[in-house]
Structure formats: C-alpha cells, structure tokens
Amino acid sequence: MLRLGTVGTGWITQQLVEAAAMAGSFELAGVYSRRADKAQAFADKNHAERVVTDYQELLAIDGLNVVYLASPNSLHFDQALQAIRQDITVIVEKPAFSNPQEMAAIMAALADHPQAKLFEAARHVHTPNFHAVARALGGLPAVQGASLTYMKYSSRYDQVLAGGAPNVFTREFSGGALQDLGVYPVYLAVALFGVPAHVAYFPTLIQTGVDGKGVAVLRYGAYDVTVNFGKTSNSAAPSEIYGLKETIEMDSAGELTRVGLRQDGTELTDLSAQPLKNPMLPEVQDFARVLHAPAEKTNIADYHRWLHWTQQVNQVLYGLRVAGNLRFPADDHE
C-alpha cells in the first residue's frame, strides 16, 4: 500500500483522494494545509491519519512515499524539490513548474534520487478516450493540423471583476489562463504531435496582469495546431484533428468525454469509452502501476514517456509565455 500525503484541500485534491481510494493502492497518511481547520475538515472527511500545518512535518510522516501537490503553481518547484530530496515520489498538478530552469533542477534531483519519481497530473492523456484519439490519428493517411479548444468561465474571475486578485489570476503565483486550462490542449498537442518547431501566443490580458484567455499557434512545419483557451468566458466549440477526408472530433480538448471519427462527411463514428466514475482514476491507476512494479519494462517505458511529456510541455508553455511577453517572478529566481 502506498502512503500518500496531500497538499491542498480544494475540489481537485478531493477528486484525487477519491480516485486513490477507488484504485485501492493508496492510504491517506497525512493532510497538509496552512490552515488547521481546513486540513482537519479534509482529514475527517477522508479518514486521514494525520493533520499538519508544516510541510516538513508532512514529509516526515512515517512511511510516507508519495506526496500530491495541488498548491499554487509557483509553489510546486520548492515543494517538489524538498520531497524528491527525501526520496519521496511527487504527483504534481499541472502545470508542474513555472519554467525550464525549475524543470532542469527537478530533473537533476531525480537523477540524484532514483528512488523518487515525478508524475504530472495531466489526467486527460491517461484516459481511454485519449488512447482512442491516438489510435485514430495513427490511422489517418495524412495530418493537416488541428483546432483545440478548452474554455470555461472561472468563478474566481468574479473576484477579479470585483477588484480582487485570487492566486490563479496573479503573476506572483504563476497564474493565468495558459498556466491553467491552456495546459490541457498544449498537453494534447505535445502528446499527439510532439514539440512544435515554432510557437506564437496572443494573450488577452486582464487587470491583474495575466492572461484571462488567449489563442496560441503551434507550427509543425507541414501544418499548424491552433489552441484556444480561457477562464473568462465559456465555449461549447468542439476540438478537431484534420486528416484528408477524415476528421477526429472531441467534445473538449480538456475533458475528452466524447470522441469520434468522421470520414468523408459521413455520420460520426463514436470512439468513446464508457464514462469515467472519476476522471482522475486512469492516471492514479497508471501511477500506482509504475510505483508497484518500477522495474517492469512496460512501466519503465510509460514512466519515461510521461516524464518526457512533462519536460516538453514545460518547454512549450514557457515558449508561449515568451512569445506573449508574459513574465513571472519565478523566472527571476536562480
């Protein structure tokens, strides 16, 4: 049984803990929050063994071997580094880190502590529907690009409109649309098409100084992938990958709850798997599989592919920020 500690008490951590319980491979050893009341309420709800308000106390819990980080983006690097240096595996919410400098330091720490592993919680690329899209893409006679959309209005934007500055919409915490919902379509593009040769980003800035929405163009030489995302409005537009007479259709580049293939204008062939009881269950099962049998050849290959995606997505996100003239305080740190 893997002993899990969590950082963060929001809905995403609750979903992860419920997925871990469904997977049957984890026990909740500890809950960390700077606020004791929030940590205690979360622990009571999920039957955690311990509650702590100091991160080092969490890492020191007896037998702890996995920590899940759902803290603000700018805190991921230091928290992950501390865990890895204590041979503790890290599951970190996307985006893993703010820039390639942080990513390089994490990779160096992983090399020094091979017992620890790093998993980025990009849930959609572990789902059966992602694998269905990848198989359909492999069957296309040619690829002529894609249009990927993921846009959902954030309730925290109401705070911005009222004059506030919630963490997810501040430069200090490496926030903004690209660093949140934009990660999903960028991950999808990298996992399906690789790293683009050139990128461009056209952000729509909001009063806190970050991007509330934006359009990115990923240029792959023979074709482009256009990415449309945002947290200040909603979109029901589907996402599509273009072949010749074939089109792969997805309901959303972030959710992937429905996927299908349309050939020569014919009726859509549904490629979707059964709806997931918990959208984080496939990734949790994948991570547990690797951790339980780290020397198995398939697990080694899967882990290194996922870790490579993490590095590549980090590179592309940073390139897009540079193209859009978006800089974070984290970029100024050694």
Q: What is the C-alpha to C-alpha distance for residues 57 and 78, in angstroms, rounded to an integer?
A: 15
Q: Domain limits at 18?
A: 2-124+280-314
Query: Would you say residue 309 has pLDDT above 60?
Result: yes
Q: Are 159 and 236 in contact (CB under 8 A)?
A: no
Look at residue 334 in the predicted model and tell me its pLDDT: 57
Q: CA separation (Å) from 213 to 32, 92, 158, 175, 205?
A: 32, 23, 15, 12, 7
Percent of the chain with pLDDT over 70: 100
Domain boundary among 274, 300, 323: 274
Return the CATH number at 115: 3.40.50.720
Query: Would you say residue 207 has pLDDT above 70?
Result: yes
* Average pLDDT of the residues in 146-166: 97
Co-location of 232 and 218 in the same domain: yes
Q: Provide the token pair at 120.
A: 């980025």
Q: Are 96 and 76 in contact (CB under 8 A)?
A: yes
Return the CATH number at 219: 3.30.360.10
Look at residue 266 in the predicted model and tell me its pLDDT: 87
Look at residue 333 in the predicted model and tell me its pLDDT: 75
For residue range 221-232, list pLDDT tens digits in order: 999 999 999 999
Query: Would you say residue 29 has pLDDT above 80?
Result: yes
For residue range 157-177, list pLDDT tens digits in order: 999 999 999 999 999 999 999
Domain boundary among 257, 274, 291: 274
Q: Tell me the pLDDT of the chain averaged across its residues.
A: 97
Co-location of 253 and 157 in the same domain: yes
Co-location of 153 and 218 in the same domain: yes
> Is 328 within the bounds of a domain?
no
State residue 243 phi and psi, 5-degree precision.
-95, -135
For residue range 44-97, list pLDDT tens digits in order: 999 999 999 999 999 999 999 999 999 999 999 999 999 999 999 999 999 999
* Average pLDDT of the residues in 32-36: 94
Look at residue 323 in the predicted model and tell me its pLDDT: 98
Co-location of 266 and 295 in the same domain: no
For residue range 255-284, list pLDDT tens digits in order: 999 999 999 888 999 999 999 999 999 999
* Average pLDDT of the residues in 293-307: 98
Co-location of 11 and 76 in the same domain: yes
Co-location of 118 and 10 in the same domain: yes
Look at residue 171 in the predicted model and tell me its pLDDT: 97
Could you tell me the end-to-end alpha-carbon distance of the chain, in angstroms, rounded to an integer? 37
Look at residue 265 in the predicted model and tell me its pLDDT: 80
How wide is the angle at C-alpha 134 spanned by C-alphas 148 and 291, nearest 5°? 105
